[in-house]
Structure 1
């Protein structure tokens, strides 16, 4: 028999804060600062620099010289929590996402007129949410951290003057950590305890892309980013001084594992040079978030009365597939300066029934601005800024079978993104 009081939120790697990433779910968009300036509207078709290794591997065929692009984005998020109520007392400070940096780096080398080699290092997924320890919704989760780092060696092949294809296997390293408070089993022994879960894994995936150039001024691209299947292994630690938890043998450290599949996505976009000054972009992205139906954590070495509740714990997610849309433009002021702007909309994969403080995300809108400076033919410096805001998102969690009680509130999420990138050709 399972003790429902122990069913704490254990979504070790898919719990996402709404304002933690400038993309839907827990996906990150920050793999290109030059693309950030136009809201990534032409991600799979622009192929302007080495960041196309991620955006569309086939786009490397457009680069005629060796090129290195390195950059980083900083995310500054803001969350206001309003109308909070629940069975536990506590604070609702909001702003649970610390300032976060997202680095990236790429190298492209044209081998001959047909073949091009490249490699990229970037972060496709990530989050960190850190509520104050006395957060009112702490029994439903108060700390989550996930980091995914990907290395992608890549090749592209120019089939003819119009068609190019590209492929890159991905080596993906994931690390995750989760913490939350445990409610007391016996109200006469009210001391709360803590559960901490951490794990990591390395797994393989791939990116594949096609770029078709209708004319020298007009091109379209499609990129497929594969799913990646992980088996995270680590440990679960339960600690505290509650006499009831001690009596049933709940306290201790146990080997833990979690099967997780990050979703595949398809990005399609269109780029058109109107004239020597103006360029327009339009694109959309489909992501198969519906793979996240539930999360199950398996713990080994659990004995005593705690075994029934701690050996295997499942939490429903029931995410759904999403679409994102973006439009953007670039204008060359002169030979040295280019300015960019873009508008994007992303759907949220969460649903009203299962949304928790770990995943308080709603549909979002983002506007972006960027500037590119070319002091020489060999060097480009890109700067970009994005601002996103979400619809008001409601949390309404009720634990009817355990001791977590209830928590409900309304989240108002927004975020600022700042990025810089340097590209050098030789």
Structure 2
């Protein structure tokens, strides 16, 4: 019993977040509303506004005036859970399977770019590269396998770009990343359900680098590298309503976690004065996420419980996207795109915390420029995942089996001002 209590409580890894963002694993794509309209095709080559600080810092060299861009996206997700069955360590378990475990989530972003001359530009960005949340209902049938999970990573990125000539520019920026997370798990005891709550945070440094090459005024390609970031989350584990186990109390806990590096490659081609085609692919090294390893500082517990390990064994993924923009006139630009994105999760280790499968994303967007100084961008995306099965069973936590069909709607808006 005591081993189950700690293992349930300390599994706070970022992988405990929602699978309903618009990127694989626990990554977020919503760092640019203009790019959202084309399903993020051409993200590393478009350099349409100040959000290029994230998409490709080399693209800042294309901006001729100071720019400020602020925006946010809202994600509304839903899961259709079918064929569910579950048990507690004591036997069969009844419960609900509503599938509304992801609260509506907002993702903010903000950027500023200042060209110093024709070659050098400075910029700064604030955005969320990883995050989201799950919060199952109190009576969820699989509550001993998963309950509430929350994570947020906020990044600040000061950036420099340099343009060598009319064709080649490069950019680089260190990233200062703050992560915080919370996990609340239901807990089975002979006296009834209890709760285990884990909290932790850390700050770590990475970087973002990019290259942009313009074959002609109408065609350009870009490559962006987002580095891995190593965190050492420190916090505590609080166990309530577990008096029968003699483990009630608060314990210091530590978790090492590395968010993966990614490479984004894309091309932007202006077919004519009205039509622009975007295409791109992103590789993410999710294979770094092999296990959850938590170091627990609890002098009152047996030494064998001070290190808890849970296997994950994720694999690397590819995402591919194609998009199109149509410039109606000087004021209006319309966008659309489609993307396919692999899930990094294998069928054996999938759990109710991340019931994710391969996904397809459809997007629409528009940009309105009432004058040369201001642009308002809006975008809508619809995500649909393949059906996936969750089959989890252990003597200490019971079992939960179900089929998940996930979907999500995303709506975003941003304002760009030039001066």
Flag whether TM exceeds 0.5 (same fold). Answer: yes
- The Cα of 1:8 is off from its aligned counterpart by 1.9
SS of the aligned residue for 1:61 comes to helix
Match of 2:90?
Answer: none
Which residue number corresponds to residue 221 of structure 1? Answer: 222
Q: CA deviation at 1:194?
A: 1.6
Which of residues 275, 278, 282 in structure 2 aligns to 1:281?
278
**Post-superposition offset of 1:182:** 2.2
The aligned counterpart of 2:410 is 417
After superposition, residues 2-401 of structure 1 pair within 5 angstroms as 3-4=3-4, 6-8=6-8, 10-19=11-20, 21-87=21-87, 88-184=93-189, 189-243=190-244, 245-246=245-246, 250-303=247-300, 306-308=301-303, 310-399=305-394
User: Contact conserved, 1:193 with 1:242, CA < 8 A, in 2?
Assistant: no
The CA deviation string for residues 346-368 of structure 1, in whole angstroms up to 9 with x for no partner, is 00010111111111110000000
How many equivalent pairs are there?
A: 413
Q: 4+ residue stretches of structure 1 with deviation over 6 A?
A: none
Residue 6 of structure 1: how far off its partner (Å): 4.3
Residues 333-342 or 86-95, more deviating: 86-95
How big is the shift at 1:313? Answer: 1.4
Q: How many Å separate the matches in 1 of 2:368 and 2:4?
A: 58
Matched, 1:407 2:400: yes
Distance 1:167 1:370, change over 3 A: same
| 3-state DSSP of counterpart to 2:16 | coil
- Measure, in 1, the Cα distance between the counterparts of 2:146 and 2:283: 29
In the alignment, the residues of structure 1 paired with residue 2 and residue 370 of structure 2 have an alpha-carbon distance, to the nearest angstrom, of: 66
**How far, CA to CA, are the matches of 1:213 and 1:28 in structure 2?**
28
Q: Unaligned 5+ residue runs, structure 1? A: none
Q: Deviations over 1:45-92 (max 9, x none)?
A: 000100000000000000000000000000011111111001132211
8 Å contact 2:4–2:397 — kept in the other structure? Answer: no
Task: State the alpha-carbon separation in 1 of the partners of residues 305 and 105 from structure 2.
Answer: 33
| C-alpha contact (below 8 Å) 2:56/2:171 kept by paired residues | yes
Provide the rounded CA distance (Å) in 1 between the counterparts of 2:198 and 2:12. Answer: 10
Q: Distance in 2 between matches of 1:81 and 1:6?
A: 28
- TM-score, with length taken from structure 1: 0.95
Task: Give the whole-Å Cα distance in 1 for the aligned partners of 2:186 and 2:243.
Answer: 12
Indicate conservation of the 8 Å contact 2:295/2:306, yes or no: yes
In the alignment, the residues of structure 1 paired with residue 153 and residue 302 of structure 2 have an alpha-carbon distance, to the nearest angstrom, of: 32
Cα distance in 1 for partners of 2:5, 2:185 equals 13
TM-score w.r.t. the length of structure 2 is: 0.96
Question: Shift of residue 302 of structure 1?
Answer: 3.5
Matches of 2:299 and 2:362, distance apart in 1: 50
Instruction: Tell me the alpha carbon deviations over residues 305-346 of structure 1, each in whole angstroms, 9 at most, x when there is no partner.
Output: x43564221111110000000000000011110000000000
Unpaired runs of 5+ residues, structure 2, are 88-92
Partner SS state of residue 14, structure 2: coil
